Amino acid sequence: MKKYTIREVVSRKDIKAFIRFPERLYRNCPQYVPALRQDQMHSLTKAAPLAYCSRKLWLAQDEDGKIVGRICGMINPRYNELYGKKRARFGWFDTIEDFEVARLLLGTAEEWARSEGMTEIHGPLYYNTLGKQGMLIEGFENIPVFNTLYNYPYYNDYVQRLGYAKECDWIENKIVANQGAPEKVRRIAGMLMERYHLHEGSINRLKKDPEQVRHFFRIYSDSFSKTVHNFIPFTDEEIEEEAASVMRFLSDKVSSIILDENEELVAFGIGFPDISKALQKCRGRLFPFGWIHLLRALWDYRTVDLMINGAVPQWQNTGVSAVYHSIMAEKYIAAGSVWALSNPQIETNGAAVNVWNKYGHELYMRRRCYLKEL
């Protein structure tokens, strides 16, 4: 039996090794989508949630010093205070196909969590709700959207053998994008727009006004505070970080914001051209040629990622989703879109999951958050 050791990541060289390990692990996996190295370095060293979260990184290695696994242990005190928990979380979990490596990695994270007074650990998760989360349990044959995780099937076997059980599942669907909205949805949308004097705003204008962008993300945070599992309201710093990262890539082409007669935000549907295959070509690097692949992908709308859809709290449960669904359906046709991939949606939110029953769709992926008592 091979012997493995674990060491804490303490230097920038270690962090680089931590980031690059999956590139080797998934080298021959056609579905894996590597994250950009510079984005990972930012997430691990400068991300806004690190202002209040604590975290530790570890690498597992064999007798020859070859890296065979990695893991990050995190504690989000804002989450624990909000939900009345003493939970740690794990993320950035990757391992070769050897149960002993998984046992060593997760055991190390658990021991650290206990030493910090935690009574539970769950994951895979990010520091907050904005990052990649959920271990893939169905849809291994598919390529994930760029802001979700991919993992080998054996990961699930390992965590369950180590005492982890299901906390929740998220579902992703593949939808026919060029079918248009059903006639009933279009009729309801027209009625609501007339009754409440609603109209479509412009993402292109919105993103030129920094204060309006901040306002949008504050509303976005409020909109999902009661519907998204494990949701943690954003800090001002997190809003600034997310806005800087995302807004410049959005356009009116496949996104829609709905405003009332006072120009106040009512609802939103944000789409994004699928860039997963471009990221595969980048192989974790923007330079020297990775940026070309990404630039091309940003103009290709044949497959669209449905990033976020929702309504501000006072407009929820009014049927206003019919408005942006109807508008976006027409935009997909105009953009030449064929497929749309939904963002992960918690399976217990029947309204969000069942909305796709109105459209031609199929299950694309299912991912799971695991929980263990310490």
Percent of the chain with pLDDT over 70: 98
pLDDT the model gives residue 46: 95
- How high is the mean pLDDT of the chain? 91
Q: Are 231 and 79 in contact (CB under 8 A)?
A: no
**Which pLDDT score, from 0 to 100, does residue 226 have?**
67
Tokens of 204: 């292109």
pLDDT, tens digit, 9 for 90 and up, residues 14-73 = 999 999 999 999 999 999 999 999 999 999 999 999 999 999 999 999 999 999 999 999
Sole residue written with tokens 């070309």: 292
pLDDT > 90: what percent of the chain?
66
Write down the domain spans for the chain.
5-170, 175-366
Contact call for residues 127 and 55 (beta carbons, < 8 A): yes
The sign of the CA dihedral 182, 188, 191, 195 is negative
- Taken in order 338, 289, 39, 143, the sign of the CA dihedral is positive
Q: Given this model, what pLDDT does residue 351 score?
A: 64
- d(CA 244, CA 241) in angstroms, rounded, equals 5
Angstrom distances, CA of residue 277 to CA of 61, 115, 186, 237, 296: 30, 42, 33, 31, 11
Residue range 296-335, pLDDT digits in tens: 998 999 999 998 888 888 888 888 888 888 999 999 999 9
How confident is the model at residue 219, as a pLDDT? 79
Q: How far out from the chain centre does Cα 124 lie?
A: 11
Q: What's the pLDDT score for residue 84?
A: 96
For residue 352, name the pLDDT band (cuts at 50, 70, 90).
low
- In whole angstroms, give the CA distance from residue 175 to residue 196: 29
123, containing H or E segment? strand 120-123
Looking at the domain covering 175-366, what would its CATH class be?
A: alpha beta
Fold that domain 5-170 belongs to in CATH: Aminopeptidase (3.40.630)
State how far the alpha carbon of 338 is from the alpha carbons of 62, 177, 184, 331, 334, in Å: 46, 5, 22, 11, 11
Query: At 103, is the pLDDT very low, low, confident or very high (cuts 50, 70, 90)?
Result: very high
Q: What would the 3-class secondary structure string for 274-301 be?
A: CCHHHHHHHCCCCCCCHHHHHHHHCCCC
Tens digits of residue pLDDT in 212-221 = 888 888 877 7
**pLDDT digit string (tens) for 5-19?**
999 999 999 999 999
Please say whether the dihedral angle defined by the alpha carbons of residues 32, 35, 41 and 43, taken in this order, is positive or negative: negative
The three-state secondary structure class of 119 is coil
**pLDDT for 44:** 97
